[in-house]
Amino acid sequence: MSERVDHLPASAALARETVLLGAVSADPAQRYLWYWDSPRALVMPKKLAAKPQFEAAAVASRARGWPVEVRSTGGDVTPQGPGVVNVTHVYAAPPARTFDLDQEYGRLCAPIEAALGVGAARGWMPGAFCDGAHNVQFQGKKFAGTAMRFRPCRGDKSRYAVLAHALLLMDPPEAGAIDAINLFLADLGEDREIDPATHTGLPKSLSRADFLDRLAAAFASDSELVDQAARP
């Protein structure tokens, strides 16, 4: 049976992520694996909200049907809406002297790659939205964008509470989503443009339900983390 995907506004999803991170920080024995999607919206990091053009750009984007929400993780502007499913994994990393960011990104990306199968890879994809070293690609195009937030656990200072998020493109992004990002970036004064041809969706051999089942199984196989994942 495939994992349930919750449907809620992006603002509510981002707020719930913060609550889950706080819960794991207080009790490192907790672990949450949560799938969600939302109506059309643009989600952006706080750093862009500091730009002087932000308020006007956000008003213009909302008028075009793409409200803007601000998230606590890093990254860049990303779309929500049809064809997008998000996975939020919140957990306490095993005790360590220092936090290994690449290792924790591996915990997020490797299950996605395993669920996709042959043709999955990781790395930069110039022209894609929210480009980064921890993109998950399929056959040379971007399938998933990733972001992370972490902090020492209040309940165990030897461990870090981690909020790991991936935006999964079940379908290639709709043209309107890429247009919305590009118009918003232009209104912010950003000298760059997203290329829709750099993105892809699920391989034709995989249904959405089968992919989410495979993804849940891959996350569950991480033997270093607790065996039980709670529902948010």
Is 130 in the active site?
yes
CA–CA distance, 170 with 194 (Å, rounded to integer): 19
Query: Residue 1 has what pLDDT?
Result: 35
pLDDT in tens, the chain (232 residues): 346 899 999 999 999 999 999 999 999 999 999 999 999 999 999 999 999 999 999 999 999 999 999 998 778 999 999 999 999 999 999 988 789 999 999 999 999 999 999 999 999 999 999 999 999 999 999 999 999 999 999 999 999 999 999 999 999 999 899 999 999 999 999 999 999 999 999 999 999 999 999 999 999 988 777 554 556 6
Q: What is the pTM of this model?
A: 0.93
Q: Which of 58, 130, 161, 216 is catalytic?
A: 130
Write down the domain spans for the chain. 5-220
Out of 2.40.30.60, 3.30.930.10, 3.30.1330.120, 3.20.20.140, select the CATH number for domain 5-220: 3.30.930.10
CB-hemisphere CA count at 13 Å for 29? 0
